[in-house]
């Protein structure tokens, strides 16, 4: 065990060595200013581990390491980059129980969701981009008989990546996969609340054989390490996932050096249920769309809009579904559907919104802390508000917790109007058995993604991202490569003399 790691035993009995340093140039190092941050188990409020946090000097060191590594990494053959990414995917897969344990412990998500959802996705995304690494190329464009041009797709350079806490490993993989496949080098910063799994990932980056400096991992406060990274003159691009308000700050800071940016920010995604929908399926997916991952999903379908003539039936069935399915408990219990919220700050924020909602709409279920932790832990009862007006704050603002707002519409036109009456535009869902209506409404909704008769589908092959204040640019799919590469045009003159 290196001096910058500690022996831990998780509540599910998994023992392991947790790196705690900053990962720069393929080595774990201490913070130059002895800065640290604590990871807390949201189920017990107990300390899990203290990790090193980056100072301005550490960020500078990490960026310079990435800059130096870029010189050779950019010319590393695509197939070789692909092999390293495949290897990294294999190494993660071999330690899937450990990664699922650490993310469940640190974040509060259920172990079952972490191993069956997050880990499958993380491995799948690395493999998907490993496959792309030797398949990105330009075009040849003929102009006249004496001239033509070709384009080369090249990496952007040093990428600063900043991720949130709701899918700690996955969010890192979504960002690292396409950036590395296309030949960039990276400094990635995890969220303060979930600093652990990314350090295990860093260990595997080295084991997989990535050259020193290609991937640098830092923990640290957003307003300190994060903002230093965003403003650093040697960082060529910033890719951020987090809240819309932080996204706006990052856009402002990146403007000073005109950095390329990708932003994946907040949402208040609508889910429309038409009167011709399969109501059982609409209920089941609506429940999943807002209550899974403790409601801490940027694409959570938190505004459920139901056609007036099925409103009472839907609402009754939705509440029954929440009561029968959303069992609140700790991360490790196989019965648990909903674990604790990630932190005290999030817990308080959600309860504040619930109290606001009580004055704005009808509380139909929940509306208070859950007793699941016997006085400890950040547990909240799954909460349902009905008859919510479009002016209500709980209808308009992102709560990021297990709180559903249900409202009524009469016509298709009104449904689209209500769905689009928001500053956000991330996910959306439409429930109908009418094929024409499904496509018509999908085209009209202002969102980056539409799920027809479903919610929260996500696949490495499909572009993900938002419109309006939900973001700029796309991740995943072929579109994700565009975020991390730039096109150079080379003009060739074959004898046109002046």
Task: Report the interface residues with ligand NAD, using CB under 6 A.
Answer: 162-166, 189, 191-192, 222-223, 226-227, 230, 241-243, 246, 249-250, 264-267, 298, 398, 400, 426, 466, 471
Nearer to ligand NAD, 209 or 223 (CB): 223
119 vs 415, which CB is nearer to ligand NAD? 119
CA 240 – CA 483 distance, rounded (Å): 12
Our answer to whether residue 264 is catalytic in this structure is: yes
Taking the C-alpha atoms of residue 219 and residue 162, their distance in angstroms, rounded to an integer, is 10
User: Can you count the helices (H) and strands (E) in the chain?
Assistant: 16, 22
Determine the Cα–Cα distance for residues 390 and 340; give it in Å rounded to an integer.
29
Give the C-alpha separation, 148 to 20, whole Å: 54
Report phi then psi at 443, rounded to 5. -70, -30
Closer residue to ligand NAD, CB minimum distance, 226 or 329: 226
Nearest to ligand NAD of 139, 245 (CB atom) = 245
Alpha-carbon gap, residue 217 to 119, rounded angstroms:
19
Nearer to ligand NAD, 296 or 432 (CB): 296
Catalytic residue among 113, 121, 203, 264: 264
* Least separation in angstroms between CB 267 and ligand NAD: 6
Gap between the Cα atoms of 96 and 108, Å rounded: 17
CA R_g for the chain: 23
* Long-range contacts (CB closer than 8 Å, 24 or more residues apart) made by 125-128: 125/170, 125/173, 125/174, 125/177, 125/460, 125/476, 126/85, 126/86, 126/88, 126/89, 126/92, 126/173, 126/176, 126/177, 127/85, 127/86, 127/89, 127/460, 128/177, 128/460, 128/461
Min separation Cβ 228 and ligand NAD, Å: 8
Strand partners, 52: 36
Shortest distance, position 169 Cβ to ligand NAD, whole Å? 13
Q: Of the candidates 482, 485, 460, which has an alpha carbon nearest to the alpha carbon of residue 472?
A: 482
- Minimum distance from CB of 268 to ligand NAD (Å)? 9
Q: Which is nearer to ligand NAD, 82 or 164 (CB)?
A: 164
Question: Would you call 493 helix, strand, or coil by DSSP?
Answer: strand
In the complex, minimum distance from the CB of residue 222 to ligand NAD, in angstroms, rounded to a whole number: 2
- Residue closest to ligand NAD when measured from CB atoms: 222
Nearer to ligand NAD, 63 or 250 (CB): 250
Q: Minimum CB separation from ligand NAD for residue 57, in Å?
A: 17
**For residue 242, which phi and psi values (nearest 5 degrees)?**
170, -155
Q: How far is the CB of 389 from ligand NAD (least distance, A)?
A: 23
The DSSP result for 325-361, as a single string, is: H--B--TT-TT-SB---S-HHHHHHHHHHHHHHHTTS
List b or e across 5-31, with b for residues whose CB sees 16 or more CB atoms inside 10 angstroms: beebebbeebebebbbbbbbbbebbeb
What is the rounded distance in angstroms from the CA atom of residue 247 to the CA atom of residue 227? 11
Q: What are the residue numbers of the active site?
A: 264
């Amino acid at each position: 065990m290196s001096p910058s790691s500690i022996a831990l035993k998780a509540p599910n009995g998994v023992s392991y060595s947790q790196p705690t340093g900053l990962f720069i140039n393929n080595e774990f190092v201490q913070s130059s200013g002895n800065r640290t941050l604590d990871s807390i188990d949201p189920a017990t409020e107990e300390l899990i581990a203290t990790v090193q946090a980056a100072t301005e000097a550490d960020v500078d060191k990490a960026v310079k390491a990435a800059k130096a590594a870029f010189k050779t990494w950019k010319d590393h053959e695509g197939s070789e980059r692909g092999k390293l990414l495949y290897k990294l995917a294999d190494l993660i897969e071999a330690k899937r129980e450990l990664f699922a344990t650490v993310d469940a412990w640190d974040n509060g998500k259920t172990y079952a969701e972490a191993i069956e959802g997050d880990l499958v996705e993380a491995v799948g995304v690395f493999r998907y981009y490993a496959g792309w690494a030797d398949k990105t190329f330009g075009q040849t464009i003929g102009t006249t008989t004496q001239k033509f041009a070709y384009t080369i797709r090249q990496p952007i350079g040093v990428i600063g990546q900043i991720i949130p806490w709701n899918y700690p490993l996955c969010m890192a993989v979504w960002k690292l996969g396409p950036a590395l496949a296309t030949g960039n080098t990276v400094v990635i910063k995890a969220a303060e609340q979930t600093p652990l799994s990314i350090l295990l990932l860093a260990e595997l980056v080295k084991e997989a054989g990535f050259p020193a400096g290609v991937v640098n991992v830092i923990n640290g406060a957003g307003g300190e390490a994060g903002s230093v990274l965003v403003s650093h003159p040697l960082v060529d691009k910033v890719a951020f996932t987090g809240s819309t308000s932080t996204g706006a700050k990052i856009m402002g800071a990146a403007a000073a050096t005109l950095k390329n940016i990708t932003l994946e920010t907040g949402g208040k995604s609508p889910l429309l249920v038409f009167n011709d929908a399969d109501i059982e399926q609409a209920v089941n997916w609506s429940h999943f769309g807002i209550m899974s991952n403790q409601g801490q999903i940027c694409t959570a379908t938190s505004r459920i809009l139901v056609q007036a003539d099925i409103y009472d039936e839907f609402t009754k069935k939705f509440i029954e579904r929440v009561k029968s399915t959303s069992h609140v408990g700790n991360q490790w219990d196989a019965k648990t559907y909903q674990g604790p919220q990630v932190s005290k700050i999030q817990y308080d924020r959600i309860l504040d919104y619930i109290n606001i909602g009580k004055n704005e709409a009808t509380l139909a279920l929940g509306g208070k802390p859950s007793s699941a932790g016997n006085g400890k832990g950040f547990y909240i009862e799954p909460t349902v508000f009905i008859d919510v007006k479009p002016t209500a704050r709980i209808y308009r603002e992102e709560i990021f917790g297990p709180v559903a707002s249900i409202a009524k519409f009469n016509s298709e036109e009104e449904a689209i109007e209500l769905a689009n009456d928001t500053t956000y535009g991330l996910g959306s869902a439409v429930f109908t058995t009418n094929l024409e209506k499904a496509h018509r409404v999908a085209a009209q909704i202002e969102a980056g993604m539409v799920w027809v008769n479903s919610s929260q589908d996500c696949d490495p092959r499909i572009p993900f991202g938002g419109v309006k204040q939900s973001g700029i640019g796309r991740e995943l799919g072929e579109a994700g490569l565009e975020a991390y590469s730039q096109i150079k045009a080379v003009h060739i003159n074959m004898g046109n003399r002046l």
